[in-house]
Amino acid sequence: MPRITFLTTIYNKERHLPATLRSIAAQTGVAEAEYIFVDDGSKDRSREVVETITASWPNTTIISQKNQGPSVATNVGLERATGDYVKLVDGDDILLPNATDVLLEALTKTGAKLAFGYNAEFPAEHPPEHLSPVDAPAIRLRPNLLRFLLQRQHFGPSHMLIDRRLFQEVGGCDEAIFTQDYAMLFRLARKTDFAEVDAVVALSPDVVPGRVQTGAQLYHDMNLALQTAVRDGLSRSLNRYAFQRAAGRAWKWATRHGGAGLTSPYFWLYAMSYLPVPLWPDVPHLIGATLPAYHSDPNIRRSFPRLAPPPLADQPA
């Protein structure tokens, strides 16, 4: 059986961690595992909770660092990973009992190097006490993958199982982008097919104060990821589609949250993205012009250089 690395990044998740950790420990079909937790500068008791609950777990490493965001935290953990596959788990999500086994089966059946499923929410005040396993889901290779990633809001880290060597080969997450789970998908999609498991494999609380994968931060970073994907090279039609998606998001955000009207630059960017001829050769620059739509949100986090790691003596649990 392959070895699985469960990699969990944590920032102020004390309240949610017990349920998350129970779900990791309960994963079926995992013969050999290692567990890596990266506490990204939590101000609560997150590290203490992890230390207490995992005290008897084998092959467990807990890393503490100054707050640098999910992308950096994921990469710090990925550098320590030795498993055949990496199972990312957000610090407030709950895996269904056989989620890892189902995703691994999808990889085995299809030959892909990334498998993904889907998510459902639960009331944050009432985490589920009893979890039913995923029941014989349909599995398929996802065609036209780059367009698929452009078309829809992406699936999150807890929904994926990734070949560790490939994940490291593509450089893990893009540390120029604060959130971790969209830009990396484009790089992985250039290297492998994705296997889709047509089922919910993880649950998320409906309300988490301070969650970065929502609101302005999410949409800002999605557009920033599209800018990077276009720079890395897409077809002309996908460049155009990426611009339309980024401009449409920015225009909607500026309208709903800033009262923007037809004189707004974001309306004109959106209109420009539908011109019948490509008058705009520098698509990355145009996508970049959509980013200030989100900068009025005071909570937007920008990227910054990775800080020096803590001493190795402080890292093992």
Residue 278's pLDDT is 61
In a domain, residue 299? The reply is no
Number of Cβ within 10 Å of residue 310's Cβ equals: 13
Share of the chain above pLDDT 70, in %: 91
User: Which domain covers residue 169, as residue numbers?
Assistant: 3-208
Shared domain check, 237 and 186: no
- Residues 105-126: what's their mean pLDDT? 93
Shared domain check, 160 and 258: no
Answer whether residue 316 shows pLDDT above 50: no
Shared domain check, 264 and 201: no
In a domain, residue 190? The reply is yes
The pLDDT confidence band at residue 47, using thresholds 50, 70 and 90, is very high
In a domain, residue 75? The reply is yes
Shared domain check, 81 and 49: yes
Shared domain check, 117 and 161: yes
Shared domain check, 264 and 191: no
In a domain, residue 311? The reply is no
Question: Domains in the chain: how many in total?
Answer: 2
In a domain, residue 301? The reply is no
- One-letter identity of residue 52: T
Residue 247's pLDDT is 96
Q: What is the mean pLDDT of the chain?
A: 89
pLDDT in tens, 224-276: 999 999 998 888 889 999 999 999 999 999 999 888 888 899 999 999 999 87
**151 Cβ neighbours under 8 A, 6+ residues apart:** 245
In a domain, residue 58? The reply is yes
Burial class (CB in 10 A: 0-12, 13-18, 19+), 317: middle
Residue 317's pLDDT is 42
Share of the chain above pLDDT 90, in %: 66
H helix runs in 56-182, sequence order: 70-80, 99-110, 145-151, 164-169
In a domain, residue 239? The reply is yes
pTM for the full predicted model: 0.90
Shared domain check, 202 and 153: yes
pLDDT in tens, 172-196: 999 989 887 788 999 999 999 999 9
Shared domain check, 242 and 283: yes
The pLDDT confidence band at residue 17, using thresholds 50, 70 and 90, is very high
Shared domain check, 141 and 289: no
Residue 280's pLDDT is 60
Burial class (CB in 10 A: 0-12, 13-18, 19+), 306: middle
SS3 of 1, please? coil
Residue 211's pLDDT is 57
Shared domain check, 128 and 143: yes
pLDDT in tens, 267-298: 999 999 998 766 567 899 999 999 999 988 88
Shared domain check, 114 and 30: yes
Shared domain check, 174 and 221: no
SS3 of 95, please? strand
In a domain, residue 170? The reply is yes
